[in-house]
Structure 1
Amino acid sequence: MPSIATIGRASTDGDPWPPPIPPDASEEERLARLEREREAQKVSDGIDRAISIEKEQRKKQNGVKLLLLGQAESGKSTVLKNFQLRFAPKTFQAEAELWRPIIHLNLVRSVNFILDLLSSERPSSPPPSTSLSSEPDNLRRIQFSLRPLKQVEDSLTKRISGSLFLPVVSGDELKEFPRYHPAKASEVSVRSGSGWMGFMKLRRPADSSPGRSAQDKTEDEQNRRILEACVDDIQALWRAKEVQYRLAEREISLVHQPGFFLEDVERISKQSYVPTSQDILRARVKTIGPEEHRIPMDTGVFPPGPEGKHWIIYDVGGSRSQRAKWAQFFDDSTSPFAFGPRHAFNQVLAEDATVNRLADSFKLWKMICSNKLLASVDLILFLNKTDILESNLDSGVQFRKYVPNYKERPNDAKHVSRYLLDVFTAMHNQSTPKKRKVHTHLTCAIVSSLLVQEVILVKTLAQTNIL
């Protein structure tokens, strides 16, 4: 944008501006005119300086921009949390307590999903063992004793989102968000821009927290007491043979879903519980719609990040109804991270049971590679969830049944991963508008040590000149 001074130096017809002082002007008029011009120049120079300062501040505020692209459940949230843990550890640890209601809600939703499953239609075939027949009375007692967890779920949902219900969505989106989805039973959903973490800060259980009413505090304590009192019955429910049979019959694997805490119920239900870093990485809260995350880089991080800088990470949402919004985030100053969940070769999209998730990942990758707005930036591809892929293949699931082109190659994670890596690489080479680097990494959904994830992040960011 040109300055006022620049605009004032020429008129549209080529005559000079401002016009020269009339030759018959008095000395007093001439001096007054020159003084006005000097004042105008000062104003113009001040505006130019303000614009320059604003541009510099905006440049600093922009920080390092990253874009997370991929399906829902592809591992984007885990990498985002790893960024927070790696580059802003003080902030990450300070916010650990805010994740406790999310983790409790993940747990409670898993339990209530099982209770709904048990109260729905009976199995399509009788259990293979008559030993299950001794369980019904005890299971009915457990179901009755766990009924208060419905109240706990409603209370926690209201506390996190400010509403008893999911955020308002369109008719098309509503199909994607039933109360309990078999593929994501424990998932918590919030609308983008809702600022759930900021909302939670105002409702922390500390007595001194501003905006924290006595009713809120009492309700929080009541929820925790109910959860602690239900520990034994939750454990018994999860161990029940009929529950495991019903889940297996429907091919539902709660263990492999994000937000699974049924095997940690005793630990996380204690009154003294504070979420660990690993708990936060495993917790699941889904944002409906694009979300911007600003992560300041703490000082003292090793190796150090750029001092005074911060990350701006865009998680644009992976469900099909949200992908039309991706393009507005594409530009040559943003580094895109693409995610391909390798374990999903035998799964379908939650919003469309006719679409295979691996086929959809290929389609998304081709779209990213061919986009001209991203033609000048390196791509970073995470082929994620190695652990779940290994578990699926070890259980006897045949990869070639879902990917016929795999043919007679060995049915193990090493060879399947190599095949997928070759396919993704070939698709990039065929689709990219011009030659560039693709940084590919095979990663785990959740690793017991964060060192591996940290090494991958730092190495990748250094290779792409982001860090």
Structure 2
Amino acid sequence: MSSLKSSIYPDGDPLAVVTAPPPDESPLERDERLSSEKAAQKRSDAIDEEIARQRIAEKKAPKVVKVLLLGQSESGKSTTLKNFQLINSPKAFRQERASWRAVVQLNVARSIRIILDIMTQAHAQQTQRQHPVASSSMSSFESLQRPDVVYPTLTAEHLKLKMRLKPLLQVEEALLRRLSPGNTVEFEATQLTVPTSLPYPDRNYKEPSVNSAVHWKGAFGRLLTPNEQRASFDSEQGIDFDDPKDPGLVLHNCREDMVHLWNDPTVKELLKVHKLRLEDLSGFFLDSLDRVTALKYVPSDDDILRARIKTLGVSEHRFRLKAGNMVSHDWRVFDVGGARSLRAAWAPYFDDMDAIIFLAPLSCFDQVLAEDSSVNRLEDSMSLWKSIVSNQLLKSTDLILFLNKCDILKAKLESGIRFGTWVISYGDRANTFEGAANYMKKKFAGSFKTNSPEPRPFYCHFTSVTDVKSTTHILENVKDTVVRKNLQDSNMV
């Protein structure tokens, strides 16, 4: 073997062949090569020195606090992360408004598309009843119709309205292309309601998602020099209102029709028949159309918190935080995708976390997983909580439970949806927010006590993370708790 290597590489070193100078190198070329190698070595040495300095600084500085956000898809992880940003990096938060404006516009277009899809189903049923056709010639779409479900009749005006709103479908596609210019937009089916209560149980709505590794937030911002700035460009918010491709122009022109559609009694009845409450979904803005479709609309902090764009993969955000009167700490907050296919990515982050914020949305008691329509979402949260609590790698990690989306839970119960219908063990207890929320808190606490490998405190908060004021107070308490524990572990208190 050695003789073979010697025959191929005379010096016995394959790298020598790669690094050797060209055999016909001139003196000038040699000087240029040596100068280039010297500059490259200087850059390499500078990088090594900077890495060494950072290591020394990290050793002297307070320990980095690492927090992991966990929970199923649409549990509120990204909204919690946005709250961290708003509280601790408000300037950076403001600089992203241009991209969040696009997400709000996407949310509006998607909500309208869902309604238009349901109108299409209703019209197909209406046409089928008026002009019966042989079952063999029915389209696959028409074959989904069930005779026991009768939609309200759509008028000619409804159909004209539907046609006038069709440009919003192109707006949705354009926004998706711009949010993810590298064709990295992916779609995941999101089952909006319980299949057994739907007239069309196989009907899924595709939710767009972007990869967290792609810098999609820069897609709508423009960095202009002072000479390039125009009166229509909001330099603080990063929004170019003169952009001819601005989807806001189409949304603005369709505003009256969208308002008419959302307030139409027949459309309300269609949604009721479909057992679909759009107002309970993330990214709902149809009650604010006059404001969010204005030509120079800039999203408020509340709008950004409510905006919904599904991210895939793991995103890391760094903050410099100060908890109470204690020393400032560098925080790293990790947001990991909650879809079933992404949960395998959680494990590598378990070993050195200071705290895990686990979000369990209580409002989803009457919904099922998009990935498995046989699994109730609240039941899935309980199962996930148990697996996190019992994990040996996390036996010394603080677990902080956010029983989230309490505002939506309260609205659902007040609308007449019975908690006990879906959570059988709740029985015939009072159908109130206080009763249902406290019942679930006891269930999660019981699982925590039973499955935790070691005794540890149970931290639980009722949250509506789109509510800035209350969430700010809760996150301040979380910061104090985590930093105090961090200092205790470091023998500094």
Which bin holds the TM-score, normalised by the shorter protein?
0.7 to 0.9
Take 1:274 and 1:189, find their aligned partners in 2: how far apart are those partners?
23
Decide whether the 8 Å contact of 2:323 with 2:476 is kept in 1.
no
Structure 2 gaps of 5+ residues are 1-47, 126-144, 194-203, 487-493
Number of aligned pairs? 399
- Equivalent residue, structure 2, for 1:453: 471
Q: CA deviation at 1:462?
A: 0.7
The 5-angstrom pairing of residues 187-202 of structure 1 reads 188-202=208-222
Take 1:292 and 1:436, find their aligned partners in 2: how far apart are those partners?
27
Decide whether the 8 Å contact of 1:78 with 1:282 is kept in 2.
yes
The alignment status of 1:324 with 2:350, answered yes or no, reads: no
Q: CA deviation at 1:58?
A: 4.9
Amino acid at match of 1:464: V
Take 2:360 and 2:290, find their aligned partners in 1: how far apart are those partners?
34
Q: CA deviation at 1:165?
A: 6.8
Amino acid at match of 1:150: L
- Equivalent residue, structure 2, for 1:246: 270
Per the alignment, do residues 204 and 50 of structure 1 end up closer, same or farther by CA in structure 2, a change over 3 Å counting? closer
- Residue 374 of structure 2 aligns to a residue whose secondary structure is strand
Amino acid at match of 2:265: K
- Equivalent residue, structure 2, for 1:148: 167
- Equivalent residue, structure 2, for 1:87: 88
Take 1:51 and 1:165, find their aligned partners in 2: how far apart are those partners?
33
Take 2:305 and 2:51, find their aligned partners in 1: how far apart are those partners?
42
Q: CA deviation at 1:303?
A: 5.6
The alignment status of 1:257 with 2:281, answered yes or no, reads: yes
Take 2:224 and 2:310, find their aligned partners in 1: how far apart are those partners?
21
Take 1:203 and 1:357, find their aligned partners in 2: how far apart are those partners?
43
Q: CA deviation at 1:124?
A: 4.6
Take 1:91 and 1:355, find their aligned partners in 2: how far apart are those partners?
39
Per the alignment, do residues 324 and 62 of structure 1 end up closer, same or farther by CA in structure 2, a change over 3 Å counting? farther
- Equivalent residue, structure 2, for 1:104: 105
Amino acid at match of 1:63: V
1:125-144 C-alpha deviation (Å, 9 max, x unpaired):
69989xx65x5111111111
- Residue 217 of structure 1 aligns to a residue whose secondary structure is coil
Per the alignment, do residues 201 and 165 of structure 1 end up closer, same or farther by CA in structure 2, a change over 3 Å counting? same
- Equivalent residue, structure 1, for 2:64: 63
The alignment status of 1:463 with 2:487, answered yes or no, reads: no
The alignment status of 1:161 with 2:185, answered yes or no, reads: no
- Residue 234 of structure 1 aligns to a residue whose secondary structure is helix
Take 1:99 and 1:356, find their aligned partners in 2: how far apart are those partners?
31
Q: CA deviation at 1:203?
A: 7.8
Per the alignment, do residues 310 and 98 of structure 1 end up closer, same or farther by CA in structure 2, a change over 3 Å counting? farther
Take 1:332 and 1:161, find their aligned partners in 2: how far apart are those partners?
32
The alignment status of 1:414 with 2:434, answered yes or no, reads: yes
Take 1:111 and 1:367, find their aligned partners in 2: how far apart are those partners?
38
Q: CA deviation at 1:402?
A: 2.0
Amino acid at match of 1:410: A
Per the alignment, do residues 444 and 49 of structure 1 end up closer, same or farther by CA in structure 2, a change over 3 Å counting? closer
- Equivalent residue, structure 1, for 2:73: 72
Amino acid at match of 2:113: N
Amino acid at match of 1:413: F
Per the alignment, do residues 49 and 163 of structure 1 end up closer, same or farther by CA in structure 2, a change over 3 Å counting? closer
Structure 1 gaps of 5+ residues are 1-47, 168-173
- Equivalent residue, structure 1, for 2:115: 114
- Residue 56 of structure 1 aligns to a residue whose secondary structure is helix
Q: 2:448 aligns with which of 422, 428, 437?
A: 428
Q: CA deviation at 1:186?
A: 9.3
Amino acid at match of 1:409: R
Q: CA deviation at 1:401?
A: 2.2
- Residue 461 of structure 2 aligns to a residue whose secondary structure is strand
Q: 1:359 aligns with which of 364, 379, 396?
A: 379
- Residue 348 of structure 1 aligns to a residue whose secondary structure is coil
1:173-215 C-alpha deviation (Å, 9 max, x unpaired):
x6xx14x7546969541012012113443589995599x9x9x
Q: CA deviation at 1:305?
A: 8.1
The alignment status of 1:339 with 2:359, answered yes or no, reads: yes
Moved more, 437-446 or 395-404: 395-404
Take 1:153 and 1:269, find their aligned partners in 2: how far apart are those partners?
14
Amino acid at match of 2:450: Q
The 5-angstrom pairing of residues 286-325 of structure 1 reads 286-297=310-321, 307=328, 309-325=329-345
1:412-462 C-alpha deviation (Å, 9 max, x unpaired):
111111111111111011111111112100112532xx2211111111221
Decide whether the 8 Å contact of 2:318 with 2:333 is kept in 1.
yes
- Residue 367 of structure 1 aligns to a residue whose secondary structure is helix
The alignment status of 1:217 with 2:218, answered yes or no, reads: no
- Equivalent residue, structure 1, for 2:53: 53
Decide whether the 8 Å contact of 1:187 with 1:259 is kept in 2.
no
Decide whether the 8 Å contact of 2:211 with 2:311 is kept in 1.
yes
Per the alignment, do residues 335 and 99 of structure 1 end up closer, same or farther by CA in structure 2, a change over 3 Å counting? same
Take 2:356 and 2:383, find their aligned partners in 1: how far apart are those partners?
16
Decide whether the 8 Å contact of 2:98 with 2:220 is kept in 1.
no
TM normalised by structure 1 equals 0.77
Take 2:50 and 2:252, find their aligned partners in 1: how far apart are those partners?
58
Amino acid at match of 1:161: S
- Residue 218 of structure 1 aligns to a residue whose secondary structure is coil
Decide whether the 8 Å contact of 2:72 with 2:338 is kept in 1.
yes
Q: CA deviation at 1:332?
A: 3.5
Q: CA deviation at 1:325?
A: 1.1
Amino acid at match of 1:385: K
Take 2:268 and 2:286, find their aligned partners in 1: how far apart are those partners?
13
- Equivalent residue, structure 2, for 1:381: 401
- Residue 423 of structure 1 aligns to a residue whose secondary structure is helix
Take 2:405 and 2:466, find their aligned partners in 1: how far apart are those partners?
8
1:227-279 C-alpha deviation (Å, 9 max, x unpaired):
11100001111122232222111211110111111111111111121110010
Decide whether the 8 Å contact of 1:110 with 1:186 is kept in 2.
no
Take 2:304 and 2:72, find their aligned partners in 1: how far apart are those partners?
21
- Residue 194 of structure 1 aligns to a residue whose secondary structure is coil
Per the alignment, do residues 334 and 463 of structure 1 end up closer, same or farther by CA in structure 2, a change over 3 Å counting? closer
Q: CA deviation at 1:377?
A: 1.6
Per the alignment, do residues 306 and 111 of structure 1 end up closer, same or farther by CA in structure 2, a change over 3 Å counting? farther
Moved more, 240-249 or 98-107: 240-249
Decide whether the 8 Å contact of 2:319 with 2:332 is kept in 1.
yes
